[in-house]
Amino acid sequence: MTATQTPPRIRVAGLTKRFGDVTALDGVDLEVGENEFVSIVGASGCGKSTLLSLIAGLDDPTSGTLEAAGVPITGPGRDRGVVFQQATLMPWLTVQQNVEFALRGEPGLSRADRADRAREFIGLVGLDGFESSHPAQLSGGMQQRAALARSLSYGPDVLLMDEPFGALDALTRRTMQELLLEVWEQHRLTVLLVTHDIDEAVVTSDRVVVMSPRPGRVQRIVAVPIPRPRTLASERTAEFRELSDEILGLIHAGA
């Protein structure tokens, strides 16, 4: 790397994670560029969630290097927003309050600014009119919208998503994929998405990381050269089907 090059947004090198006798990750190397959308796929138990939680700083590696924009990752940070499969909203707060809560501690934001910013992102995810609802009054898809609004509201450089639509019914899932594509077009940021859904990975991503079964290693990285902006209609192209089949084949071959 020369002095003029900026470091990648996320860099993982020689990453190993053991839980007792279980080696979840074994020497994972991965670089994710600024504003790149990368998905991680692979058989159940191959270490996808472990990799994401290490990048989120929610756990420590056994060995290896983890950096965000050249800075070692030593814990969670507001440069990295996280969205999990189950929306982790605070049930006693309204949608508006949940988002505002995430904005507490943002430097230079008054209470009124926080309220405005929260409304802006609630609108962005299509939850206008539900600001005063509590999570229990929302469907699963709406809760994930609120969780997305919350994670985007403080302007993270990286969005880490672990099966964010995995608990949703098929139709809602499709709607959320469309929303994610739209949001990413409007607010380009670096996204790392863990998913079991190969089509979801291909339609959203610039590159798809295929992991080998335990111990998790990077088996192959497949580039997705389908032009952007993409919509779910992009899935109807022959190019899409070929890439999706190739990735499925890689997962099956590794299993």
Ligand X SMILES: Nc1ncnc2c1ncn2[C@@H]1O[C@H](COP(=O)(O)OP(=O)(O)OP(=O)(O)O)[C@@H](O)[C@H]1O
We find the least distance from the C-beta atom of residue 151 to ligand X, in angstroms, to be 19
Collapsing DSSP states into helix, strand and coil, what is residue 155?
coil
24 contributes a contact to ligand X by CB under 6 A: yes
Q: Which of 22, 90, 221, 223 binds ligand X (CB under 6 A)?
A: 22
Q: Which of 8, 9, 39, 48 binds ligand X (CB under 6 A)?
A: 48
Q: How open is the CA angle 14-252-175, to the nearest 5 degrees?
A: 90
We find the least distance from the C-beta atom of residue 28 to ligand X, in angstroms, to be 11
We find the least distance from the C-beta atom of residue 230 to ligand X, in angstroms, to be 25
d(CA 242, CA 206): 15
Q: How open is the CA angle 69-74-76, to the nearest 5 degrees?
A: 85
21 contributes a contact to ligand X by CB under 6 A: no
Collapsing DSSP states into helix, strand and coil, what is residue 128?
coil
Helix axes 95-103, 140-153, angle to 10 degrees: 20
We find the least distance from the C-beta atom of residue 219 to ligand X, in angstroms, to be 13
201-230 binders of ligand X (CB under 6 A): 214
92 contributes a contact to ligand X by CB under 6 A: no
134 contributes a contact to ligand X by CB under 6 A: no
Burial of 100: CB neighbours in 10 Å, binned 0-12, 13-18, 19+: buried
Summarize as ranges the residues that interact with ligand X (CB under 6 A).
19, 22, 24, 42, 44-50, 214
